[in-house]
């Protein structure tokens, strides 16, 4: 079964064509600068040279028609005809309160996604545009939505209700939703598999640390808490986002003359590693500067580690224990110094890693990093959100065939 996975952002569209159930990636690529100047598509096939084309991409539908053209091109393609695509899986950042698991996309689902655009203004419209584009171009092909928020829908009320007037939840949907759910779900299930245990019997903390970062507590396979909230702004320090700050800072700055938009931009785009270090939002650049003695780069990294440690500690308290701690995503998978620092002085919790193994592991490995005598197993598990989306899509699409 061939499954096309689409991840539509505001000006970009990523795609991967999978052969399921094995999960072989036949082709993948990225359309950039949609609806702005300088559009381009990079198309990749395993074992072949990458192909890049500059092309004006007026909207998501145009980008999708190019994707289909490339996938079926006699030279560059991997299938002979569009009809070989059995299903399309869409990554959707927000499923609101209703879409608690991956589902087939129909008019009702699209209508509901429109109704929650207000709480998901950045990611909602491009995801809907991707779905509508596919519907036009691939009329009969079943489509599945996989939502970043779904995995978190098991959180208890006391974890998702903010202590503000309850009417704001009832009337405006203001609550913790959590994000990166597909990644947390993938690595939590994968670690249970690697440990040879049922996820129902495990208490797991997953640290998805990339440009955006979130930490999730999973007890018996169900999320009990997660660090991102109403938006992906909450939680630990990220590349350009502040994570949690005293909300009065916002109103104070607005009193000083900044507009709401400026404050929001500052917290979302100019804070985090970039804001504290003044160097970059890319952790590699900040790590390099820190190694050369740059004080603010060192401070930014210390704030990041300290924040991660505090979430781990609080989630151990929330679950009354921990069996597995998992690192994933760009920073979690690659930054050995961060993993070492986060796990340092955590022996009270039974967390300790084998520092030599941590230093020498090749990139992209799945590995148990724990010291031999550690009570908690600490794992490195590379994430694979697209494969998880393809899996859900194949399963749901088979049910309608």
Active site residues: 148
Contact with ligand ADP (CB under 6 A) among 334, 358, 370, 378: 334
Residue closer to ligand ADP by CB (options 120, 304) is 304
How far apart (Å, rounded) are the C-alpha atoms in residues 396 and 105?
10
Q: Is 212 in the site for ligand ADP (CB under 6 A)?
A: yes
Which listed residue (86, 282, 341, 384) binds ligand ADP by CB under 6 A? 282
* Cα–Cα dist 321/52, whole Å: 49
Q: How far is the CB of 281 from ligand ADP (least distance, A)?
A: 7
Q: Which of 329, 346, 390, 394 binds ligand ADP (CB under 6 A)?
A: 329
The 66-105 site mask, x for binding ligand ADP (CB under 6 A), equals: ----------------------------------------
Decide if residue 231 touches ligand ADP (CB under 6 A).
no
The answer to whether residues 21 and 1 touch, using CB atoms and an 8 Å cutoff, is: yes
Instruction: Check residue 283 for interaction with ligand ADP (CB under 6 A).
Output: yes
* Residue 335 lies near ligand ADP (rule: CB under 6 A): yes
The distance from CA 209 to its chain's CA centroid, rounded to whole angstroms, is 9
5: β partners: 16, 89
Least separation in angstroms between CB 294 and ligand ADP: 16
Backbone phi, psi, residue 158, to 5°? -65, -15
Helices (H), 162-208: 167-172, 181-195
Cβ(226)–Cβ(183) under 8 Å?
Answer: no
Residue closer to ligand ADP by CB (options 378, 383) is 383
Smallest gap from residue 273 Cβ to ligand ADP (A): 7
Residue 225's nearest CA partner among 284, 274, 181, 273 is: 181
Q: How many CA atoms lie within 13 A of 6 on its CB side?
A: 31
The piece of 65-73, 244-252, 288-296, 325-333 that touches ligand ADP (CB under 6 A) is: 325-333
> Shortest Cβ distance from residue 301 to ligand ADP (Å)?
11
Nearest approach in angstroms of CB 391 to ligand ADP is 19
Among the listed residues 85, 199, 267, 331, the single contact to ligand ADP using CB under 6 A:
331
Q: How many CB atoms lie within 10 A of CB 144?
A: 25
Question: Across 20-86, where does the E strand assignment appear?
Answer: 24-32, 40-44, 51-54
> Which one of 40-48, 316-324, 328-336, 349-357 is the stretch in contact with ligand ADP (CB under 6 A)?
328-336
Contacts of 345 (CB under 8 A, 6+ apart): none
Q: How many residues bind ligand ADP (CB under 6 A)?
A: 13
Does residue 211 bind ligand ADP (CB under 6 A)? yes
28: exposed, middle or buried (Cβ count in 10 Å: 0-12, 13-18, 19+): middle
In degrees rounded to 5, what are phi and psi of residue 281? Answer: -90, -10
Structure tokens at 380: 């490195």
Residue 120 to residue 241: CA distance in whole angstroms: 17
Residue (62 or 227) nearer to ligand ADP, CB? 227
Q: Which two tokens stand for residue 400?
A: 């309608």
Would you say 63 or 331 has its CB closer to ligand ADP? 331
- Near ligand ADP by CB under 6 A: residue from 52, 118, 136, 284: 284
Q: Can you tell me which of 29, 130, 330, 382 binds ligand ADP, judged by CB under 6 A?
A: 330
In the bound state, the residue with its beta carbon closest to ligand ADP is 330
List 88's β-bridge partners, or say none.
4, 143
Choose the stretch contacting ligand ADP; rule: CB under 6 A; options: 102-110, 155-163, 171-179, 282-290: 282-290
Task: Enumerate binding residues for ligand ADP (CB under 6 A).
Answer: 210-212, 239, 282-284, 287, 329-331, 334-335
């Amino acid at each position: 079964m061939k499954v096309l996975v689409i991840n539509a952002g505001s000006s970009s569209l990523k795609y991967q064509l999978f052969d399921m159930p094995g999960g072989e990636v036949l082709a993948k690529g990225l359309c950039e600068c949609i609806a702005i100047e300088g559009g381009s598509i990079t198309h990749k096939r395993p074992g072949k040279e990458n192909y890049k084309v500059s092309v004006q991409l007026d909207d998501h539908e145009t980008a999708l028609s190019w994707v289909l053209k490339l996938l079926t091109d006699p030279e560059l393609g991997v299938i002979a005809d569009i009809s070989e695509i059995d299903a399309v899986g869409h990554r959707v950042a927000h499923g609101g309160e209703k879409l608690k698991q991956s589902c087939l996309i129909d008019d009702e689902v699209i209508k509901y996604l429109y109704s929650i655009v207000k709480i998901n203004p950045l990611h909602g419209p491009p995801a809907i545009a991707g779905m509508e584009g596919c519907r036009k171009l691939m009329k009969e092909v079943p489509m599945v939505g996989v939502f970043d928020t779904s995995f978190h829908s098991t959180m208890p009320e006391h974890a998702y209700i903010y202590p503000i007037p309850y009417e704001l939840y009832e009337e405006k949907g203001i609550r913790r939703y959590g994000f990166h759910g597909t990644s947390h779900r993938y690595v939590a299930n994968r670690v249970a598999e690697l440990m040879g245990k049922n996820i129902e019997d495990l208490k797991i903390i997953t640290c998805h640390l990339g440009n955006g970062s979130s930490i999730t507590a999973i007890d018996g396979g169900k999320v009990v808490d997660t660090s991102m909230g109403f938006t992906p702004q909450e939680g630990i320090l990220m590349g350009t986002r502040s994570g949690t700050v005293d909300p009065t800072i916002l109103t104070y700055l607005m009193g000083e003359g900044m507009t709401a938009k400026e404050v929001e931009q500052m917290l979302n785009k100019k804070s985090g590693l970039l804001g504290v270090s003044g160097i970059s939002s890319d952790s590699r650049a900040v790590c390099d500067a820190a190694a050369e003695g740059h004080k603010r780069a060192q401070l930014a990294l210390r704030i990041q580690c300290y924040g991660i440690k505090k979430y781990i500690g609080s989630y151990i308290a929330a679950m009354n224990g921990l069996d597995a701690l998992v690192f994933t995503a760009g920073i979690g998978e690659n930054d050995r110094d961060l993993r070492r620092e986060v796990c340092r002085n955590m022996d009270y919790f039974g967390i300790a890693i084998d520092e030599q193994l941590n230093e020498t592991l090749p990139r992209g490995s799945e590995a148990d990093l724990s010291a031999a005598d550690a009570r908690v197993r600490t794992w490195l598990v590379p994430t694979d959100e697209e494969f998880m989306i393809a899996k859900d899509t194949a399963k749901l699409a088979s049910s309608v065939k």
